[in-house]
A and B are shown apart, each in its own frame.
Chain A
Amino acid sequence: MEKFISLTGIVAPMDRPNVDTDAIIPKQFLKSISRSGFGPNLFDEWRYLDHGEPGMDHSGRTLNPEFVLNQERYQGASILLGRENFGCGSSREHAVWALLDYGFRVVIAPSFADIFFNNCFKNGVLPIVLDSSTVSRLFTAVETTPGYRLTVDLLAQRITMPDKDSIAFEVDRFRKDCLMRGLDDIGLTLQHTAAIRAYEERRRAEAPWLFTNLPE
């Protein structure tokens, strides 16, 4: 996983609540057995006017000029601004892979769905929760200022605006640490192998039915 320390980037607004993972990456693209290559299909049904299928050459497709990410001023955006309950619905991690592959490293919203929130941290994407009035203020700023950029500093837990004003944000300590060091948490967990084995031993005696083999 790529480290996240700080980033300055263009902000793109996704102004609707309940943006679900089906919208972020439609189901036909879940058939891939790889982790990469989802960027061209991020928000596929909103982004293109024609229907996309895996394996197509997406460069020749008709873009929807109305869709926010297709507008010139948001090209190269790395920070996505969203509304309530961002990332709800299906657990598909492909949604985060698609955001990352497209170039987003930060998503800011008043609230996130739990599984999506978790999946972000596993892939080096930083989800930031800010209160709705701050998010609304950012929406206004982004929409009225072409090329609007923010600086997100994970170490200091601060977002700095172009006028140097800044906003503090919360992040779980363990997750911050993993993100800043780009750590693989499987390796971390395996440091506790002895504790896991001891737990299993105890449970096998207490509740043996949890360990019976499933028949073929």
Chain B
Amino acid sequence: MSGMTLYDKLWESHLIREDEAGTALLYIDRHLVHEVTSPQAFEGLRLAGRKPWRTSSILAVPDHNVPTTNRSAGIKDPVSRTQVDTLDRNCADFGITEFSMLDPRQGIVHVIGPEQGATLPGMTVVCGDSHTSTHGAFGALAFGIGTSEVEHVLATQCLIQKKSGNLQIRVDGKLAPGVAAKDVVLAIIGKIGTAGGTGYAIEFSGAVLEALSMEGRMTVCNMAIEAGARAGMIAVDDTTIDYLSRRPYTQQVDLWDRAVNAWRGFVSDADATFDKHVSLDASALAPQVTWGTSPEMVTSVDGYVPDPDQEPDPVKRDGMCKALDYMDLQPGTPITEIRPDHVFIGSCTNARIEDLRAAAAVSRGQTVAAGIKQALVVPGSGLVKQQAEAEGLDRVFRDAGFEWREPGCSMCLAMNADRLAPGDRCASTSNRNFEGRQGQGGRTHLVSPAMAAAAAISGHFVDVRDTAGR
């Protein structure tokens, strides 16, 4: 018998029952909750006279709707306010731990879970949010669920699932200075497409992933969903254990040695078999920039906007034409000639301390270009913000002309007041460049934090490898 993959191990260890057709009941260890996808679930629970099965498994935080300025004044938009108030009330009623808007630990749900140590290796982690895949960086099975499933987990601590296939993505080589985790994952999506991982759980491995910090690994797993996979994961190693040893909640793990010993088992066996393999060598990888309205529409910063006439598949060609039209771009334009007028550094993909350091390194002593209408830096959590301020990064950003904001999702999806106006073009460190994602009619180019900061300084996209080596 061949060995087990990391995904197989996570699946097996959470399986309560499975019928002949493969429909399984899976136990959920950690349930993260935010204000947008939970109100109807709590409502359903109440209507059925049910209670949460295990409140100690739940951590809640408002993040999508919260303002990133002057928080003490409360939320202006009454509809947003109702949603945040509803979360507060639901958590109070059911005795659920919540970091409310004014708590210094508040932040984007996928930033605070790992930061607090609420996400552990070997766990099943769910949240009513597709970017839950982020937590897979810890050797956990983490995936996004819909609101009906949120209610199901609240009521039963379980989910009805079918097992996915095993997809191994190996990234070998060594990244050039200035090339980041974000570039790696964008390149993967460019290669396999946004449906390339559909029906699979992805395990990312190889020298590049091994060399990445936990922050970088979270960036990669975060975008597994953009490759079509509900879950992305990375094996546990010293980097994982070291990160966990410094988290508030893991300080409470008595039995630390026993736990670490168990966690180290969350790796694929040497003789494990995968259903599908993808590999790429990242040594020559250039920073990536998306040019269209799907994350797979991506190319290197030293490349050009592609020509739909060169695309043989008629459905794809039509999609490209619509995207170029929406983005107002001409085929053949060098990427470095594209001039954003907004820059957004934030989101659960790239708003951790390391991301802010990378953006600050490019911005230190520089000035945001005159053509940039707005450059925002939105830390992923209150603790990231504190850390950045302790390192003086806020000064670097402010001195250069960036706005330094309170933590939350902000312009990643523009549910709060931070949004693009029609026609605005934004260099963004977030994960989705869909039409209207950052504001109706807004145009998004996905890039790494260093690339976003460099675009702010230069007024157009530039290859950060040119400066990073020096």
The residues of A with any CB-CB pair to B shorter than 8 Å are: 15-18, 20, 22-23, 26-28, 30-35, 45, 51, 54-55, 83-85, 88-94, 96, 111-115, 118-119, 122-123, 172-174, 185-186, 188-190, 192, 195-196, 199-200, 203, 207-216
Contacts of A203 in B (CB 8 A): 27
Contacts of A196 in B (CB 8 A): 16, 25, 27, 53, 156-158
Of the A-B pairs whose beta carbons lie under 8 Å apart in the complex, a sample of 17, sorted by A's number, is: A16-B319, A17-B319, A31-B79, A31-B83, A31-B415, A91-B128, A91-B145, A91-B146, A92-B36, A92-B37, A114-B230, A186-B151, A196-B16, A196-B53, A210-B120, A214-B56, A215-B248
Contacts of A83 in B (CB 8 A): 315
CB proximity to A under 8 Å, residues B31-85: 36-37, 39-40, 43, 48, 50, 53-54, 56, 58-59, 64-65, 77, 79-80, 82-83
Known: A189-B155, A189-B158. 9 other contacts (CB 8 A): A23-B434, A31-B36, A33-B83, A122-B149, A196-B156, A207-B122, A207-B262, A211-B56, A214-B58
Give the Cβ gap from B66 to chain A, nearest Cβ, in Å: 12
Tally of contact residues, B, Cβ under 8 A = 81
Q: Which residue of chain B has the shortest Cβ distance to A174 in the bound complex? A: B23
Give the Cβ gap from A119 to chain B, nearest Cβ, in Å: 4
Cβ contact within 8 Å between A89 and B65: no
Give the Cβ gap from B301 to chain A, nearest Cβ, in Å: 23
CB proximity to A under 8 Å, residues B19-35: 19, 21, 23, 25, 27, 29
Q: What does the 1/0 interface line of B220-264 toward A look like (CB < 8 Å)?
A: 000000001110000000000000000011001101000100100
**Measured between alpha carbons, how far is A16 from B156 in the docked complex, in Å?**
38
Q: Take A22-B432, A45-B435, A189-B158 as given contacts and tell me if A114 and B199 are in contact as well, using a CB distance cutoff of 8 Å.
A: yes
**Measured between alpha carbons, how far is A93 from B147 in the docked complex, in Å?**
6
**Measured between alpha carbons, how far is A51 from B436 in the docked complex, in Å?**
11
CB of B118 closer than 8 Å to a CB of A: yes
CB of B4 closer than 8 Å to a CB of A: no
Cβ contact within 8 Å between A84 and B315: yes
Give the Cβ gap from B432 to chain A, nearest Cβ, in Å: 6
CB of B437 closer than 8 Å to a CB of A: yes
Q: Take A114-B199, A195-B16, A196-B158 as given contacts and tell me if A23 and B435 are in contact as well, using a CB distance cutoff of 8 Å.
A: yes
Q: Which residue of chain A has the shortest Cβ distance to B249 in the bound complex? A: A214
Contacts of A28 in B (CB 8 A): 415
**When the two chains form the complex, which single residue of A174, A186, A214, A215 contacts B156, counting CB atoms closer than 8 Å?**
A186
In this complex, the member of A31, A45, A185, A190 whose beta carbon has the largest number of chain B beta carbons within 10 angstroms is: A31
CB of B106 closer than 8 Å to a CB of A: no
Cβ contact within 8 Å between A210 and B40: no
Contacts of B158 in A (CB 8 A): 189, 192, 196
CB of B413 closer than 8 Å to a CB of A: yes
CB of B294 closer than 8 Å to a CB of A: yes
CB of B361 closer than 8 Å to a CB of A: no
Q: Which residue of chain B has the shortest Cβ distance to A52 in the bound complex? A: B440
**Measured between alpha carbons, how far is A165 from B277 in the docked complex, in Å?**
39
Give the Cβ gap from A126 to chain B, nearest Cβ, in Å: 15
Cβ contact within 8 Å between B436 and A85: no
CB of B429 closer than 8 Å to a CB of A: no
Contacts of B58 in A (CB 8 A): 214
Give the Cβ gap from B174 to chain A, nearest Cβ, in Å: 32
Contacts of A122 in B (CB 8 A): 146, 148-149
**Measured between alpha carbons, how far is A185 from B153 in the docked complex, in Å?**
11
Cβ contact within 8 Å between A192 and B36: no
Q: Take A83-B315, A84-B195, A174-B160 as given contacts and tell me if A34 and B146 are in contact as well, using a CB distance cutoff of 8 Å.
A: no
Cβ contact within 8 Å between A192 and B16: yes
Cβ contact within 8 Å between B40 and A33: yes
Cβ contact within 8 Å between A213 and B56: yes
Give the Cβ gap from A87 to chain B, nearest Cβ, in Å: 11
**When the two chains form the complex, which single residue of A20, A85, A123 contacts B148, counting CB atoms closer than 8 Å?**
A123
**When the two chains form the complex, which single residue of A20, A31, A189 contacts B25, counting CB atoms closer than 8 Å?**
A189
Contacts of B318 in A (CB 8 A): 15-16
Contacts of B437 in A (CB 8 A): 22
Cβ contact within 8 Å between B434 and A89: yes
Cβ contact within 8 Å between A208 and B255: yes
Contacts of A213 in B (CB 8 A): 56
Contacts of B199 in A (CB 8 A): 114
CB of B322 closer than 8 Å to a CB of A: yes
Contacts of B432 in A (CB 8 A): 20, 22, 89-90
Q: Take A18-B194, A54-B79, A91-B128 as given contacts and tell me if A214 and B315 are in contact as well, using a CB distance cutoff of 8 Å.
A: no
**When the two chains form the complex, which single residue of B27, B48, B64, B253 contacts A200, counting CB atoms closer than 8 Å?**
B27
CB proximity to A under 8 Å, residues B92-133: 97, 116, 118, 120, 122-123, 128-130
